[in-house]
Amino acid sequence: MRTLTRVEGYLLVGAGLLGVLVGLAAGVGFRYSERVQHAMPPAPEPALDDGLVRTLAALRSAAVVLDESDEVVRASPPAYALGVVRDGRIPHAAIRDLVRDVRRDGVIRDEELELPRGPVGAARVMLQVRVAHVGPRHVLVLAEDRTEARRLEAIRRDFVVNVSHELKTPVGALALLAETVHAAADDPEAVRRFAGRMQQESARLSALVHEIIELSRLQVAGALTQPALVEIDAVLAEAVDRARTKASGKSIQLHPGGEAGLTVYGDHALLVTAVRNLLDNAVAYSPADTQVGAGVRRVGDMVEIAVVDQGIGIAPEDQERVFERFYRVDPARSRDTGGTGLGLSIVKHVAADHGGEVAVWSRPGKGSTFTLRIPAAHEPPTTQSPRPEEVDA
C-alpha cells in the first residue's frame, strides 16, 4: 500500500478546511437571511376589495371610504363636488357623528342632513346620508343630493297653497253675488248689475283655471317635445290680434313692427301665448288712450321681441319678483284688471323651454319694456335651382 506524500497530505488538509469554511459561510448566510425576513414588515393587505372599488366607481351618489382614523381612503368625484370631502377628511361634524355611532355599535345610520355647501357663504345643501361598515377597518359614507327634490317639493306645496287661495276669491265672490241676486229678485236693475259682476268673476275664474293648467304643463320637464321652425311674423300677428279686443276696450293702440322674416325653433302656440301675455299685461297696466308697441329685431344669435308700454311702471324692488307665480305689484289693481298673477310666470317658462330668457326694464311713471329673447334659427343653405342655360348644356 502506497503512502501519501507530504504534498498530497497538505492538499487533503486544505480541501477539508475549504469545506469547513464553505459550510460556515452557508450557515451564516442562512441565519442572516432568516433574520432579514423576520425584520421586514409583512406585505400590506389590499386597502379595498377590487369589487368594492368597481362598485363605488359605478355609483352616481357621493361615496367615501374611511379608515380607522377617519382618513379618506377613496372618494368619488361627487363627494368633492358636494363638499362632503375637503382636504382629505370629512368637514361636516354631523356626518362625523354618524361615522362615530356606526363604529361604536355597528348599526347602519341613514339620515337627511342640511349642511353648508362650502366653507363660506350661506348656500345650503340637503343630503341623504347613509353610513355603514364595509369591513373590519373601513366605513362607507354614501351621500345623495336631495336639494333639488326638496326645492321642487316646496314649490309644489306653495303652488297648491297659492292656487287654493286664488281660487277661493272668485268662488267666494260668485257665491256672495248669487245670494245677492236672489235677495234682489224684485229689483231688475240690481239683478242686472250683480249679474254683470258674476260674469266678470266667472271670466276671471275661467282665466285662472286655464293659466294654472298652462303653467302646470310648462313646468313638466321637456314640455317642448317637438320643436319646429317658427316664423316670428306669424307669432306677433296672432298675438296682437288676440290682444286687440282688450286694448280697444281702453282705447289703447297696438303698434307691431320691427325686422321681418326672422325665425326660431320652438312651438308656435307657446310663443303666441307668451307674447300675448306680455301684450295683455301692458294693456292692463296702461292708462286709456295710450299706445303699446311690439317690436322684433335680431341681436347676434338671438331674436328679441320687445313689448313697450306707457303704463305706471314697476319699482326696482319689485322688478326681480314680477315673474314669480301669483306675485302682484299692486294686488288691488290686479283685482280691478282681472289679472291672475300667472301671466309673466308663463312667459318665463316659455322662454326657458325655448332656451331663452325674459327681462324687464321699467321706471315708475315712465312705463315698462318686457323683452323676450329666443335663439335664432340657423337654417341650412337652400340649393339654388340651375339656370336654364346650365340645364341645356
In the prediction, which pLDDT does 42 show? 46
242 CB-contact burial (10 Å; exposed 0-12 / middle 13-18 / buried 19+): middle
Pairing of strands 139-145, 62-66: antiparallel
Q: Model pTM greater than 0.75? A: no
- Residue keyed to cell 337627511: 112
- Residue 133 contacts residue 100 (beta carbons within 8 Å): no
Q: CA-CA distance, 42 to 21, in Å (whole number)?
A: 33
Q: Give me the tens of pLDDT residue by residue for the chain, a chain 393 residues long.
A: 455 566 566 655 566 665 656 566 656 555 655 554 554 444 444 456 666 667 676 677 889 999 888 888 888 888 888 888 888 889 999 999 999 999 999 899 999 999 887 777 777 889 999 999 887 888 999 999 888 788 777 767 766 666 665 666 667 777 777 888 878 878 888 888 888 878 777 776 776 676 666 666 665 544 566 788 999 999 999 999 988 888 888 999 999 999 999 999 988 988 998 999 899 889 988 999 999 999 999 999 999 999 999 888 888 878 778 887 666 655 544 455 555 567 788 888 888 888 899 999 998 888 999 999 999 987 654 445 455 554 444
Q: What is the pLDDT of residue 108?
A: 94
pLDDT reported for residue 391: 45
- pLDDT at residue 4, as a whole number: 53
Side chain identity, residue 45: E
Listed in sequence order, the residues at least 6 apart from 361 whose beta carbon sits closer than 8 Å to its beta carbon are 368, 369, 371
Q: How far apart are CA 337 and CA 380, in angstroms?
A: 46
101: enclosing H helix or E strand: helix 93-105
pLDDT value at position 100? 93
Query: 10 Å Cβ neighbour count for 115?
Result: 18
**Gap between the Cα atoms of 99 and 102, Å rounded:** 5
Among 167, 140, 165, residue whose Cα is nearest residue 63: 140
Pairing of strands 291-299, 253-258: parallel
Please report the domains of the chain, with CATH numbers, ordered by start residue.
Answer: 50-145 (3.30.450.20), 147-220 (1.10.287.130), 224-381 (3.30.565.10)
Eight-class DSSP state of 352: H
What is the distance between the alpha carbons of residues 178 and 260, in angstroms, rounded to a whole number? 50
What are the CA-CA distances from residue 265 to residues 77, 82, 260 (Å)?
Answer: 36, 36, 16
Q: What angle do CA 199, 205, 207 make, to 5 degrees?
A: 105
User: Cβ-count burial of 121 within 10 angstroms (0-12 exposed, 13-18 middle, 19+ buried)?
Assistant: exposed
Q: For residues 371 and 305, is the Cβ–Cβ distance under 8 A?
A: yes
- CA torsion 337-338-344-345 (nearest 10°) is 150
